[in-house]
């Protein structure tokens, strides 16, 4: 077998592997067409603690605490706990002034996962009075009905649930626009679709609820990767816990504004996913076969995504080198494409597809496309820049969590109407 034959065989093998992975996620995503689950309305009964890890967040922490104070939920059933860690600013003072309870870490922590581990151990030891916890990032603001909706979810028997992540600054820059489109896509095509299929949603870092019973059954919070949310989702799959999707429980994130901020954050995400793949793939496969748990296999395929993205890029390069792209024009055999023409064609087709999908996502999120042109026209860059990030992280992992400066002065009243406040 000559060299060209070997490369041709490799191309078709990669096509099958990447194709299976792509088809699976595409088919599952199509279930977004089914309606999201609606939960029966219950009277407020569960006592919640809002958990907020904060590192140098004096500019935004006050707005988050204020939005939690404005919840349409009895104040005596909600405590707001801020955990400052490694702060060099006035996060503690601002949080206290806004009305939060501040509990400082007695030791230096390296990640949000370590903060959560500390606070859950502290609460179960010192003040074990909560039915469930809702975890937020310091840059969030929370819809007034969030706690009421999570109460409905918990009363319906679901012990863990992810809320809807919206954006509070979708049009500030092309990066914040791309992030917004990305999260809207995750909401609709990942969590909504899986919920419609009866599968498990994924915890996405902020705006999620977990019952105290679940945390206790796990012996506390124990995550070691850079993406504690995905790792926790994995641990739930291994134990047979299904994560619900609470589409009416809405939070608003502050998205990064610059490409470098985005690059650093996504390096951390990719590092965490690769760490999770190495740590949990074997365990997930074993549990999946043993318990016939489709959620375990679903997580395996998710963990393979960075590698699949790199393989897809390799596949495109090899296909263009072999001039396999002319197959697209088999109806016009007289068309012969040179290398630069093939590259130009591939880039243009992928760009058009990314822009079209962005428009669809924006419309499905009930946003105006005209206000999201920055993201629509640059989403291709955002997605494909993940390829070098994944390649780098396969060989050189990010070892420390790096803070992203948040400073957007957006209050909950700026993004949604506050109509009722329960004392």
Q: Is 213 helix (H, G, I), strand (E, B) or coil?
A: helix
User: Has residue 379 been placed in a domain?
Assistant: no
User: Has residue 19 been placed in a domain?
Assistant: no
Q: How many CA atoms lie within 13 A of 111 on its CB side?
A: 21
Q: What is the mean predicted confidence (pLDDT) over 39-46? A: 95
- pLDDT the model gives residue 419: 60
| Tokens representing residue 336 in the block | 């012969």
Burial of 219 (0-12, 13-18, 19+ CB in 10 A): exposed
Query: Which is it for the CA torsion 223, 131, 236, 196, positive or negative?
Result: negative
Instruction: Measure Cα distances from 125 to 76, 216, 345, 412 in Å.
Output: 21, 11, 62, 33
Res 402 pLDDT > 70? no
- pLDDT tens track for 286-299: 999 999 999 999 99
Res 178 pLDDT > 90? yes
Range of lowest pLDDT (29-43, 186-200, 327-341, 347-361):
327-341
Instruction: Measure Cα distances from 208 to 116, 217, 258 in Å.
Output: 13, 18, 26
User: Has residue 198 been placed in a domain?
Assistant: yes
Beta 101-102 vs 243-253: how paired, if at all? unpaired
User: Has residue 106 been placed in a domain?
Assistant: yes
Place 422 in a pLDDT band, splitting at 50, 70 and 90.
very low
Range of lowest pLDDT (79-88, 119-128, 201-210, 327-336):
327-336
Res 384 pLDDT > 50? yes
Place 356 in a pLDDT band, splitting at 50, 70 and 90.
very high
Q: What is the mean predicted confidence (pLDDT) over 179-205? A: 96
DSSP for 105-129, written as a single string: -SS--SSHHHHHHHHHHHHHHH---
Cα 237 from Cα 302, distance rounded (Å)? 13
- pLDDT the model gives residue 97: 95
Cα 187 from Cα 166, distance rounded (Å)? 9
Q: Is 35 helix (H, G, I), strand (E, B) or coil?
A: coil
Would you put residue 366 in left (φ > 0), alpha (ψ -120 to 50) or beta?
left
Cα 403 from Cα 409, distance rounded (Å)? 18
CA neighbor of 365 nearest in space, from 250, 199, 257: 250
Instruction: Measure Cα distances from 217 to 211, 220, 236 in Å.
Output: 10, 7, 11
- pLDDT the model gives residue 399: 67
User: Has residue 117 been placed in a domain?
Assistant: yes
- pLDDT the model gives residue 340: 64
- pLDDT tens track for 299-355: 999 999 999 999 988 887 777 666 655 444 444 444 455 656 666 777 788 899 999
The answer to whether 320 and 343 are in contact (CB under 8 A) is: yes
- pLDDT the model gives residue 11: 81
Domain count, the chain: 1
Residue 141 domain boundaries:
36-258
Place 38 in a pLDDT band, splitting at 50, 70 and 90.
confident
- pLDDT tens track for 66-107: 999 999 999 999 999 999 988 888 999 999 999 999 999 888
User: Has residue 415 been placed in a domain?
Assistant: no
- pTM over the 0.85 mark: yes
Range of lowest pLDDT (19-23, 77-81, 312-316, 378-382):
312-316
Cα 255 from Cα 175, distance rounded (Å)? 8
Place 7 in a pLDDT band, splitting at 50, 70 and 90.
confident
User: Has residue 231 been placed in a domain?
Assistant: yes
User: Has residue 351 been placed in a domain?
Assistant: no
CATH assignment at residue 147: 3.90.550.10
Q: What is the mean predicted confidence (pLDDT) over 1-17? A: 81
Query: Which is it for the CA torsion 370, 372, 374, 379, positive or negative?
Result: negative
Of how many residues is the chain composed?
423
């Amino acid at each position: 077998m000559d060299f060209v034959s070997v490369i041709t065989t490799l191309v078709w093998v990669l096509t099958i592997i990447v194709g299976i992975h792509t088809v699976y996620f595409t088919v599952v995503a199509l279930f977004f067409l089914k309606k999201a689950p609606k939960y029966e309305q219950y009277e407020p009964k569960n006592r919640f603690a809002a958990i907020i890890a904060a590192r140098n967040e004096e500019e935004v922490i006050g707005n988050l605490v204020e939005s939690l104070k404005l919840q349409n939920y009895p104040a005596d059933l909600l405590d707001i706990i801020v955990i400052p860690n490694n702060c060099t600013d006035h996060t503690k003072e601002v949080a206290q002034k806004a009305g939060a309870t501040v509990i400082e870490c007695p030791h230096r922590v390296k990640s949000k996962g370590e903060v959560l581990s500390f606070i859950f151990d502290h609460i179960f030891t010192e003040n074990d009075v909560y039915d469930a916890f809702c975890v937020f990032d310091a840059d969030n603001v929370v819809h007034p009905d969030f706690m009421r909706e999570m109460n409905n979810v918990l009363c319906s028997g679901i012990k863990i649930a992810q809320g809807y992540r919206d954006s509070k600054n979708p049009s500030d820059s092309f990066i914040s626009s791309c992030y917004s489109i990305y999260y809207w896509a995750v909401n609709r095509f990942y969590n909504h679709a899986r919920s419609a299929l009866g599968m498990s949603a994924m915890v996405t870092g902020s705006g999620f609820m977990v019952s105290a019973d679940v945390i206790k059954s796990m012996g506390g919070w124990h995550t070691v990767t850079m993406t504690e949310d995905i790792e926790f989702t994995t641990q739930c799959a291994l134990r047979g816990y299904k994560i619900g999707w609470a589409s009416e429980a809405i939070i608003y994130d502050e998205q990064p504004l610059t490409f470098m901020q985005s690059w650093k954050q996504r390096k951390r995400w990719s590092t965490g996913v690769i760490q999770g793949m190495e740590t949990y793939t074997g365990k997930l496969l074993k549990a999946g076969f043993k318990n016939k748990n489709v959620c375990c296999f679903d997580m395996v395929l998710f963990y393979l995504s960075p590698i699949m993205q790199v393989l897809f890029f390799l596949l495109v390069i090899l296909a263009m080198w072999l001039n396999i792209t002319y197959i697209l024009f088999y109806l016009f055999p007289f068309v012969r494409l040179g290398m630069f023409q093939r590259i130009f064609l591939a880039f243009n087709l992928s760009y058009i597809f990314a822009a079209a999908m962005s428009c669809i996502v924006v419309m499905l999120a009930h946003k105006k496309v005209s206000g999201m042109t920055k993201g629509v026209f640059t989403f291709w860059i955002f997605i494909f820049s993940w390829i070098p990030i994944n390649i780098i992280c396969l060989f050189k992992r990010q070892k420390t969590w790096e803070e992203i400066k948040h400073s957007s002065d957006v209050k909950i009243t700026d993004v949604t109407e506050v109509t009722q406040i329960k004392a």
